[in-house]
Structure 1
């Protein structure tokens, strides 16, 4: 047996190595450059990058497709934005690694919208695309999908819910025009049906519609109305509550045009609707529309950007009116869609404030101080004769906050300092933070061991009403137990704000308790939010039926409900914000992070923004030992300069790898 020579072994190794090494595919000759949006959240890298397209990927690496690219030594995700003949990059281009999916999930319109949203909120394109395009599910992409063109609804679809308002808006939508309106619905209006009818008018012109509702309950009502007007296959529901797989399936259905109408919650604001003709949103002041992830866009602003950039109609509806919606009317961007005053008065309930007249005070001297004055009991008793009665309580729970019986000092846990509370009628108080019982609690101010309620929750209120009205059904709605609909039968429905169920035929009466609690929240939007909650609750009460607010009769927010003037209160709110230089009258940005990082960002802003822009810095103030917060603002006319400078300052910090991350939120929905 003879052994191979060293030369033969070397030749053998080279032959094996060559057989294992696959020759790379040549670069395609047709549009060989792909411009990629790489999934990188660093502000200084917020731009597309060019890559070469191998011939074997040329067919699938189309605009909108998901790809993998080599970036900074790592394999990262990205989207193809466009294919080009040449690149303006002077250096050597790298190849695409692979095409993850041939589905073109990022359409040109949505890519343009993502760029606009990122610029509007001083954010990064990659962060916005994570909000716009749901994660991929390969199994869903392999499912058969009906892509037939949906039929147009008949142009003669009923417009019954729009009869109290001027008809010009829907007529313009059906003609293919792009009107913009702020709609103040009359009390008791069936807004889901009105939205479905507006979508049908848009679909009749051959265009698509996008309708948003604030939460899952309202979305279910909207789906029911769309089912009745458009049919089972006439719309697609897109919501984060569907779950990842179902959401991606609904997303692909919308992308492929299975239906002309898409409905959803905040997650649907970026839905890829073909030939978009109408965007509509109900109750735009609801806090659920504010995105909690960077760059923190508000769904209202996303829809308005879509309306402007895609030249489609826009509709903001609600029983109340936000300051932002009122500003749109004031600026001329949108017109007002409101019923005649006589129609509103005929549809509205009869609203009163406890203790507002001398007659009330003579009958009940404690009417302004009592939590449940005598008149409220009379209204509830009378209403129970003909149907359900709504009782709105601002706080959930039993007794969520306790104070000393003698000196009224807040009762706090001796271990962690948390607020003491009661979760039921029996047992000792416990800490709301650590949960420890406080059986031996003693007030550190006066030494008293007795405690009383500072705030009464919905469960305790239901218990008290059950004793006051023996034999009457008492139901609660709030927290993990939210009711959707209640029958037209005598019952007391105790609800927290936003959890009020719809009553069949409307409520026979309404009690809005502890109004001071909503107004005293440490937030500059507290009054506006309270008014929105009260209008939404009172609108569920039958026309002419009594509604009583328990609070200060001189408070302007309560007076707005009595006069049923949401538009008037919104205008007053704008004037106050203009005086205080708050949004939407001014451009604001909240900066939160380590104190030295916040100060560094502010210093850079001062260098970038000219004095003529009127930059004003409030703070920084310490949030805790490691975090500070500051607010920067300019007049609205210089808002673009502020946002652009924030982006440049953040880019400079990340380029130099400065320590500490600063959270930037433009026009925060809550500001306290």
Structure 2
């Protein structure tokens, strides 16, 4: 049926919550051929000649119930249907689940238009019109370590899997080393593509993305893989988006890749789903894991949450039967040594905060003693920098900046301490408590650790890897690699010893997820060891140390979940935080039927004169709670605000902010 005269349902590109619904426009005769679902359009907005951009979501027959005259679409911006029905359904469902707007999701899903890139893509598509789509036939590669076609068959059946991957390195035909997890997910994704299906794989950061891309390059044709990277330029990002729109592809990227326009979806995989980088910092703050769950429910296909450890959220889904627990055919565990309450006999080891057992393991690997092959040694530390935190040498009170009260730290040996907030040098610092003028180090960073180890092992190369000095790979020569958590390079053939320092300091962080995070940091580092090489955990014992040493990550996650149930914290229940002015928050909370909630915490002060209330509710009530909170958000956004005295025409912006499943609360 021709589009002329039909009603076009348009979603306006606006962040205003009151505009988050369909607007009906008439399709004029001259746009009948180009006005198809999914294209970008321009439409008039009510008065003053305003023109807005949006997406044509669907076409409907002329609505006889409406007696007025519909305004016509102003223009079709581009003939490319960039908004697929699957992505629109996902955006709408995810936004409703989080009391947000669909447009906030669409900004993540559909990149900005790049005219030159789009014209080139249209020309290629026109040149290939009528030709048989090329899809090279490749043999589906086998997955190693999980039994004969166990994983492949599970993916082909569209199962939902909580997958514990094999913690080791693998060498590609090119000679490059990557994590075994990357080879496993790349193999499964290639199998989907070989069957004519698409696959989406989301990873936390660029290091993981580079490993996955290298693993795919070894087994999949280059045209099958689309990389959607946040670091790409706008043209490259749009080019990748159009490639994903062109047919079945393997789409890899960071958290927003879960919204890629993949057709015939065969698999959605999320690597390391408990990594905080999967938490979207933009409204409506949807975690990659939650978006993947919704997408798999809408489109089908397999769903995989893979990791060296098990997140508490994934364990909950296993416990309720929503996902299946799957691990390697044979347990592969790193050689873990616990050294809690052990001290060092060597002065150099004491200076570097390394107990005797760890010191001996590092020395054997660096010197080749006791028959240990020489090679690099990884030292994981908790903080970057040289001395991130300083204190008064006399009374021990934390050293604060005299200008802004920020924390003082030291960037290198002999450097003047500086404020971590304003950058001011503490040349005239004096303790507010005792008026002493000298400092002492409270925490030691990667730089100080590298300096001490360099003195202890003269002639051995020392490499520092952190956020300011990223290093992705090192060779197999003897070297000391000091890295902050998450920034560990991959060593050719694996590290000959791994020392995990600052465990007690990491666990001292005030967060409900701290044990889960530490287990993930340590396990990801231990997976970089060479076969049989020791991984020494310093200063940690108890249930957490035993779980790390024995690889009983599912049991640990199950125990964590039981504790969350007792406290009524996520993921046992859902939370929604409502932040704003006191009267606005009170009104929003009262708009939710109390029978839908477990309880309400707060309001409590939240800085800048604002308060925050926290709603706790069961998963079954999530849709109703989100609808009530969203209605309150719309009412608050449309309320007329009186301009302050002397500011004619000024209307203060709404202060209400809603966040479901807020990770900052934990």
Partner of 1:558: 545
- CA distance in 1: counterparts of 2:90 and 2:569, whole angstroms: 26
Deviations 1:394-415 (A, max 9, x none): 1111111101223221111122
Partner of 1:528: 516
Deviations 1:190-210 (A, max 9, x none): 111111110122123221111
Q: Does 2:36 match 1:62?
A: yes
Kindly indicate whether the alpha-carbon contact (under 8 Å) linking 2:143 and 2:151 is maintained by their aligned counterparts in 1: no
Deviations 1:118-143 (A, max 9, x none): 11111111111111111111111110
Kindly indicate whether the alpha-carbon contact (under 8 Å) linking 2:41 and 2:54 is maintained by their aligned counterparts in 1: yes
Q: What secondary structure, in the 3-state scheme, does the structure 1 residue paired with 2:664 have? A: coil
Equivalent pairs, count: 629
- CA distance in 2: counterparts of 1:249 and 1:466, whole angstroms: 47
* 1:354–1:657 distance in 2 versus 1, CA, 3 Å: farther
Q: Does 2:378 match 1:378?
A: no
Q: What secondary structure, in the 3-state scheme, does the structure 2 residue paired with 1:620 have? A: strand
- CA distance in 2: counterparts of 1:332 and 1:602, whole angstroms: 33
Unpaired stretches in structure 2, ≥5 consecutive residues: 170-179, 369-373, 642-652
- CA distance in 2: counterparts of 1:254 and 1:308, whole angstroms: 21
- CA distance in 1: counterparts of 2:415 and 2:379, whole angstroms: 27
Kindly indicate whether the alpha-carbon contact (under 8 Å) linking 1:31 and 1:84 is maintained by their aligned counterparts in 2: no
Kindly indicate whether the alpha-carbon contact (under 8 Å) linking 1:260 and 1:273 is maintained by their aligned counterparts in 2: yes
- CA distance in 2: counterparts of 1:365 and 1:620, whole angstroms: 53
Q: What secondary structure, in the 3-state scheme, does the structure 1 residue paired with 2:633 have? A: helix
Q: Does 2:438 match 1:465?
A: no
Q: What secondary structure, in the 3-state scheme, does the structure 2 residue paired with 1:171 have? A: helix
Q: What secondary structure, in the 3-state scheme, does the structure 1 residue paired with 2:124 have? A: coil
Kindly indicate whether the alpha-carbon contact (under 8 Å) linking 2:142 and 2:149 is maintained by their aligned counterparts in 1: no
Partner of 1:327: 316
User: What are the residue-to-residue correspondences of 1:234-253 with 2, within 5 Å?
Assistant: 234-253=224-243
* 1:38–1:669 distance in 2 versus 1, CA, 3 Å: same
* 1:566–1:515 distance in 2 versus 1, CA, 3 Å: same
User: What are the residue-to-residue correspondences of 1:306-325 with 2, within 5 Å?
Assistant: 306-325=295-314
Q: What secondary structure, in the 3-state scheme, does the structure 2 residue paired with 1:130 have? A: helix
Aligned residue among 144, 162, 172 for 1:182: 162
Q: What secondary structure, in the 3-state scheme, does the structure 2 residue paired with 1:481 have? A: coil
Q: What secondary structure, in the 3-state scheme, does the structure 2 residue paired with 1:498 have? A: coil
Shift of 1:454: 1.2
- CA distance in 1: counterparts of 2:456 and 2:501, whole angstroms: 16
Deviations 1:512-545 (A, max 9, x none): 1111222222322222112111111111112332
Q: What secondary structure, in the 3-state scheme, does the structure 2 residue paired with 1:303 have? A: helix
* 1:366–1:445 distance in 2 versus 1, CA, 3 Å: farther
TM-score normalized by the length of structure 1: 0.89
Kindly indicate whether the alpha-carbon contact (under 8 Å) linking 2:3 and 2:35 is maintained by their aligned counterparts in 1: no
Shift of 1:448: 2.7
Deviations 1:249-270 (A, max 9, x none): 110111012x532111122111
Partner of 2:474: 486
- CA distance in 1: counterparts of 2:439 and 2:311, whole angstroms: 40
Deviations 1:560-590 (A, max 9, x none): 2122222121111111111111111101112
Aligned residue among 575, 580, 605 for 2:567: 580
User: What are the residue-to-residue correspondences of 1:317-356 with 2, within 5 Å?
Assistant: 317-340=306-329, 343-344=330-331, 347-355=332-340
Q: What secondary structure, in the 3-state scheme, does the structure 1 residue paired with 2:359 have? A: helix
Q: What secondary structure, in the 3-state scheme, does the structure 1 residue paired with 2:9 have? A: strand
Q: Does 2:288 match 1:299?
A: yes
Deviations 1:342-361 (A, max 9, x none): x32xx3222122236xxx56
Kindly indicate whether the alpha-carbon contact (under 8 Å) linking 1:371 and 1:550 is maintained by their aligned counterparts in 2: no
Q: What secondary structure, in the 3-state scheme, does the structure 2 residue paired with 1:390 have? A: strand
Kindly indicate whether the alpha-carbon contact (under 8 Å) linking 1:280 and 1:317 is maintained by their aligned counterparts in 2: yes
User: Does 429-438 or 409-418 show the bigger shift?
Assistant: 429-438
Kindly indicate whether the alpha-carbon contact (under 8 Å) linking 2:5 and 2:26 is maintained by their aligned counterparts in 1: no
Partner of 1:81: 57
* 1:429–1:480 distance in 2 versus 1, CA, 3 Å: closer
User: What are the residue-to-residue correspondences of 1:529-548 with 2, within 5 Å?
Assistant: 529-548=517-536
Partner of 1:14: none
Deviations 1:450-504 (A, max 9, x none): 2211111111111111111111111011113211111111111100111111111
Aligned residue among 21, 25, 40 for 1:47: 21
- CA distance in 2: counterparts of 1:324 and 1:349, whole angstroms: 25
Shift of 1:363: 7.0
* 1:362–1:127 distance in 2 versus 1, CA, 3 Å: closer
- CA distance in 1: counterparts of 2:67 and 2:299, whole angstroms: 35
Shift of 1:369: 12
Q: Does 2:25 match 1:36?
A: no
Unpaired stretches in structure 1, ≥5 consecutive residues: 1-27
Q: Does 2:381 match 1:393?
A: yes
Aligned residue among 254, 275, 294 for 1:265: 254
Shift of 1:109: 0.9
Q: Does 2:129 match 1:149?
A: no
- CA distance in 2: counterparts of 1:288 and 1:405, whole angstroms: 37
- CA distance in 1: counterparts of 2:506 and 2:61, whole angstroms: 60
Kindly indicate whether the alpha-carbon contact (under 8 Å) linking 1:594 and 1:660 is maintained by their aligned counterparts in 2: no
Shift of 1:68: 0.6
Aligned residue among 148, 151, 155 for 1:169: 151
- CA distance in 2: counterparts of 1:446 and 1:303, whole angstroms: 55
Q: What secondary structure, in the 3-state scheme, does the structure 2 residue paired with 1:670 have? A: helix
* 1:238–1:150 distance in 2 versus 1, CA, 3 Å: farther
Q: Does 2:615 match 1:632?
A: yes
TM-score normalized by the length of structure 2: 0.90
Q: What secondary structure, in the 3-state scheme, does the structure 1 residue paired with 2:467 have? A: coil
Partner of 1:8: none
Q: What secondary structure, in the 3-state scheme, does the structure 1 residue paired with 2:353 have? A: coil
- What RMSD in Å do the two structures reach over aligned CA positions? 2.4
User: Does 520-529 or 217-226 show the bigger shift?
Assistant: 520-529
Kindly indicate whether the alpha-carbon contact (under 8 Å) linking 2:143 and 2:188 is maintained by their aligned counterparts in 1: no
* 1:247–1:418 distance in 2 versus 1, CA, 3 Å: same
Runs of 4+ in structure 1 displaced over 4 angstroms? 28-31, 360-370
- CA distance in 1: counterparts of 2:5 and 2:317, whole angstroms: 44
- CA distance in 1: counterparts of 2:13 and 2:344, whole angstroms: 69
Q: What secondary structure, in the 3-state scheme, does the structure 1 residue paired with 2:222 have? A: coil
Q: What secondary structure, in the 3-state scheme, does the structure 1 residue paired with 2:591 have? A: helix
Shift of 1:226: 1.1
Shift of 1:362: 10
- CA distance in 1: counterparts of 2:307 and 2:242, whole angstroms: 30
- CA distance in 2: counterparts of 1:29 and 1:489, whole angstroms: 67
* 1:311–1:187 distance in 2 versus 1, CA, 3 Å: same
Shift of 1:598: 2.1
- CA distance in 2: counterparts of 1:457 and 1:367, whole angstroms: 16
Q: What secondary structure, in the 3-state scheme, does the structure 2 residue paired with 1:618 have? A: strand
